[in-house]
Amino acid sequence: MEKISVIVPVYNAGAYLDRCIESVLAQSLRDLEICLLDDGSTDGSGAVCDAYAAKDERIRVIHKENEGLMATWMRGVRETKAPYLFFLDSDDWLDPDVMLTLSHGLSSENTAQIVCGTILIDRGERGTEAEAYGALPGEYSGERLEKEIRGNLLGNEVRTLPFSRCMKLISRDLIERNMEHCDPSIHIGEDLNIMVPAFLDAERVAVINGGAAYHFRFNEASMTHKYDAAFYDAVRHLREVLLTVAEAKGAPQGREGVENEYLFLLMMAVRNELRRSDSAAAASAIRRICAENDAGQRLCAYSGTITRPRNRLAAFVMKKPDAFRIAAARRIFGLKR
């Protein structure tokens, strides 16, 4: 039986799909089950998947109606069998030793575990940078896991661990048992929906820094980098889902951790409005977001640090969302994009 199920949701990824699939087939660890899920593509991506399946018996292709990212990877979990899961988005790619490197981080004991590797953000002509997170390389279990990971999971500008479902080996049971918390209607922060409960249930977490990397293609035109009229409602819904998860799991941080995480989601919501072309509508929406969430009070109560320029800009507006600050932030934000 294969050790790792590689799950790749595919939707209109024709420009990048060959590189993605080839990087999986080039893995030095060959013992893989590869599931390509064509989520109703209209650009020929499904045919590309079929062509690769004809050449490599490890590949299975599932063609389905378009349902969105979360419903698609969930289908992949249900359709695969290996004890460890690896998720890969169809516009990203892997160094050849990713699977081997991560598998070396697994414990030989049959335990619920997550091994986190290195993600390189590819910004095209602007170069690449490693995703930063707070947990030091090493193994976390028992008291160390409880204190340094579970007790510090949410509400940090530099995340303790990356919440992306990608670039990890995850015990299948951790995903299967927590899919009940997943809401396929979520389109902002959807990976938090599965990885927060998975981290809270894990008995062991290993962090590997350096070595083979997962290459994340930064897309300026993606949903999180363009104006989205439904963004604020989406993050409010995500907050409610996370509160439910925290209560169900008895999270050490509980509501406080979720509310601190929500503060950063609100910063994203404010930045989303700064992208809006209608300046009057943007100002009105920002004031509503700040008023409905006591944004100034939330910022004063937050005990962590806010250092990233994009968050400092949002906080500058949230503290006092008057016409001057909103207009100044829109000018600055426009220059920085």
SS3 label, residue 146: helix
> Is domain 4-219 classified as CATH 3.30.2320.80?
no
Domain boundaries, the chain: 4-219, 227-336
Q: Provide the residue count of the chain.
A: 337
- pLDDT value at residue 128: 78
Cα separation, 26 vs 24, in Å, equals 5
> Is-above-0.75 flag for pTM?
yes
List, as one string, the DSSP characters of 227-293. --TTHHHHHHHHHHHHHHHHHHHT-SSHHHHHHHHHHHHHHHHHHHHHT-S-HHHHHHHHHHHHHHT
Residues 149-205: tens digit of each pLDDT: 999 999 999 999 989 999 999 999 999 999 999 998 888 889 999 999 999 999 999
Residues 207-222: tens digit of each pLDDT: 998 778 999 987 654 4
Q: Has residue 1 got a pLDDT over 50?
A: yes
- pLDDT value at residue 222: 46
